[in-house]
């Protein structure tokens, strides 16, 4: 996830202690709600992995809806993981790993759903990371990406500035190519806030076989 030019991991380590008190958490909460609903739609997942989990806020919302599921949070920032572990101290169904998206410390086919919220544009090696996500998903498993994309008029305007905040905001064609090359059989997207805010929820699925 970390790109030396951006220093993302170091930045989030410094931010970890105060991260949950920043005004931007209201945006995250609004993004998390449709992601949680999407995770819980259909068959109940037994294991959900959140990549770029930060301080664990999405997993906290998932735990309330999926009390029997195993929830795994992964993030390269040790400071964020430290805060997350404190939040879930004594909770046996939740665990955390310090790792990047392109080297997930998880077994093949172990997850039913993988989520990532407003983190994908920070992943430096997006191609390798999506292949890694596909590896840990079981047959028919789902990937949910909630992120800023270079889609629509505002999204296209933001693309030139994206390099100063993460790796970049992918457009629809780029995202489709990345998912296809990683082995996902189909994907769809929907806007979470309308045309003014280019935040989308993209859902991709691994083939059943």
> Is residue 15 predicted with pLDDT exceeding 50?
yes
Model confidence over 79-125: pLDDT tens digits? 999 999 999 999 999 999 999 999 999 999 999 999 999 999 999 89
The DSSP-derived string for 127-153 is HHHHHHHHHHEEEEEEEEEEEE-S-HH
Q: What confidence tier does 11 reach under pLDDT thresholds 50, 70, 90?
A: confident
pLDDT (average), residues 132-138: 98
| 69 vs 166: CA distance, rounded Å | 31
Say how far apart CA 207 and CA 204 lie, in whole Å: 10
- Counting beta carbons within 10 angstroms of the beta carbon of residue 103, is it exposed (0 to 12), middle (13 to 18) or buried (19 or more)? middle
> What is the residue extent of each domain of the chain?
8-205
For the entire predicted model, the pTM comes to 0.92
Q: For 18-53, how does the pLDDT look when each residue is reduced to its tens digit (9 = 90+)?
A: 988 888 888 889 999 999 999 999 899 999 999 999
What is d(CA 92, CA 115) in angstroms, rounded to the nearest whole number? 20
Q: What is the mean pLDDT of residues 163-190?
A: 89
CA 134 to chain centre: 13
**Under CATH, what is the fold of the domain 8-205?**
Rossmann fold (3.40.50)
pLDDT higher than threshold 80 for residue 2:
no
pLDDT-based confidence at residue 6 (cuts at 50, 70, 90): very low
């Amino acid at each position: 996830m970390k790109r030396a030019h951006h220093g993302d991991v170091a930045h989030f380590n410094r931010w970890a202690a105060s991260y949950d008190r920043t005004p931007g958490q209201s945006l995250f909460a609004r993004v998390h709600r449709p992601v949680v609903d999407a995770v819980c739609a259909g068959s109940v997942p037994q294991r959900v992995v959140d990549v770029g989990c930060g301080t664990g806020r999405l997993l906290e919302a998932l735990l309330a809806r999926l009390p029997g599921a195993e929830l795994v949070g992964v993030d390269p920032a040790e400071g964020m993981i430290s805060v997350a572990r404190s939040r879930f101290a004594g909770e046996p169904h939740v665990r955390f790993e310090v790792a990047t998206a392109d080297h997930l410390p998880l077994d093949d086919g172990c997850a039913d759903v993988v989520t990532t919220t407003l983190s994908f544009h920070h992943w430096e090696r997006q191609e390798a990371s999506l292949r890694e996500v596909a590896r840990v998903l079981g047959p028919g498993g789902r990937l949910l990406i909630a992120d800023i994309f270079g889609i629509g008029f505002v999204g296209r305007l933001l693309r030139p500035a994206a390099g100063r905040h993460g790796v970049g905001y992918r457009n629809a064609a780029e995202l489709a190519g990345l998912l296809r090359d990683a082995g996902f059989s189909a994907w769809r997207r929907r806007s979470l806030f309308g045309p003014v805010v280019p935040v989308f929820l993209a859902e991709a699925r691994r083939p059943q076989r």
